[in-house]
Structure 1
């Protein structure tokens, strides 16, 4: 149990900017094993975003509350996943060979594709949530943060790391994960969706799953075709696209209940 707690703290240390003390060596093996708790990090992010939503709900307009919650989510992760999405947009938008795509994604500067992609993605997140009352926004966040991270974990399980020199942000997870890790991540990732369906008595929310499968299929197909696997940026992009798909689906599937 103590070792698992240390792995959770390692996951918090690696995937967020929250200060934690991990009483174990900072090894690649520990970081790789901590990937099983990536969806649990989504619970933490969702809790912080929900606290902002509810905290400002009585003193600020709904639009401001939602924007502040999105900012809080970006702050707690240090824009870790958003950066990956922007880099993937630049790489796949401007590169025509594996080498060139990987070179562009490694560049810390953001290009036109990355800027426009990130702007449109954040706009879609904001407008999808803006159509919901605050309690439904909290539920959407509660579902999206863990489940979108689980989708990224499934890519680690099913596909290979694309870079030959493991010098990027995905290095700790480049060796893949076990089936046991995947199942544990799945519990943390899918449970919020089940809870939300029972709470709302709206089982059409299950349609979020095929929507995510379709989005994942498209992104994985593109990654496999052009670079032969995933990178850290690709995982961040998968998380961001999945999160946005969940918000959009939640908006569509619950509008008549609001």
Structure 2
């Protein structure tokens, strides 16, 4: 990246790089790509989640004009899979395949790198999608689940990166640049943004903020501890799985 790029321009590029990393949305600015910029982009993961959530709320609002709430939710989930390229769901399937079918660290990492999906991964993916549709159908209000869950859930992988080491082949992982030299300062900024944005969204139901924080920290702690025992750290796929788990736990709170 050019040494003459000013800080504001670097942050703008980092924001668009985060969008390009997590979604199919085209980056509407020229990116002077570097590993450092990729690392900086992690700050904006919750922001990207909020933007995705806004897209889902808009789509749901329009779809309910023509279809039932359940059909609209299914269509929004399909939109989500297209917009994100099933990025996190792919991580879930690969993680469950590896952790369910591998009996050594080397075998688990080998399975995780395999592009094919196995029985464990298929079962986990199907159940996760079915559960997500069911939870959204029962959520009250639905718009809050669609808007807040994608934002808050994308803080979870940053928390895991903050206290676990990165393990996998460094030359073959898409998340390697994000993992290298991960900044805890930027993690704190991302967490602060997420908390304040959540506070605004759930002002009329303060307990939902507490639930969201506990769910995010809980998934990061439980899933992170399991990854430490099974892998000795995290991989890009396991970070994707953490987003899916967090969304499901967060949505569960909206059904209570």
**TM-score when normalising by structure 2:** 0.92
Are 1:183 and 2:184 matched, yes or no? no
Q: Is the 8 A contact 2:154 2:243 kept in 1?
A: yes
Instruction: Measure how far apart 1:242 and its partner are.
Output: 0.3
Instruction: Measure how far apart 1:28 and its partner are.
Output: 1.7
- Which among 226, 243, 249 is matched to residue 247 of structure 2? 243
* Equivalent-residue separation in structure 1 for 2:142 and 2:149 (angstroms): 10
Q: Corresponding residue for 2:54? A: 47
* Equivalent-residue separation in structure 1 for 2:58 and 2:132 (angstroms): 18
- Which among 6, 13, 17 is matched to residue 20 of structure 2? 13
Aligned length: 248
- Which among 186, 202, 207 is matched to residue 204 of structure 1? 207
Instruction: Measure how far apart 1:164 and its partner are.
Output: 4.6
- Which among 132, 137, 159 is matched to residue 139 of structure 2? 132
- Which among 41, 65, 68 is matched to residue 58 of structure 1? 65
CA RMSD of aligned residues (A): 1.5
How has the CA–CA distance of structure 1 residues 72 and 176 changed in structure 2, closer, same or farther, with 3 Å as cutoff?
Answer: farther
Q: Corresponding residue for 2:115? A: 108
Are 1:142 and 2:147 matched, yes or no? yes
- Which among 230, 243, 254 is matched to residue 234 of structure 2? 230
Q: Corresponding residue for 1:93? A: 100
- Which structure shows the bigger proportion of residues in helix conformation? 1
Q: Is the 8 A contact 1:29 1:172 kept in 2?
A: yes
Higher mean C-alpha deviation, range 237-246 or range 165-174: 165-174
SS at match of 1:229: coil
* Equivalent-residue separation in structure 2 for 1:251 and 1:176 (angstroms): 38
How has the CA–CA distance of structure 1 residues 177 and 25 changed in structure 2, closer, same or farther, with 3 Å as cutoff?
Answer: same
Q: Return 5+ residue gaps in structure 1 as ranges.
A: 253-258
* Equivalent-residue separation in structure 1 for 2:74 and 2:193 (angstroms): 26
* Equivalent-residue separation in structure 2 for 1:154 and 1:166 (angstroms): 23
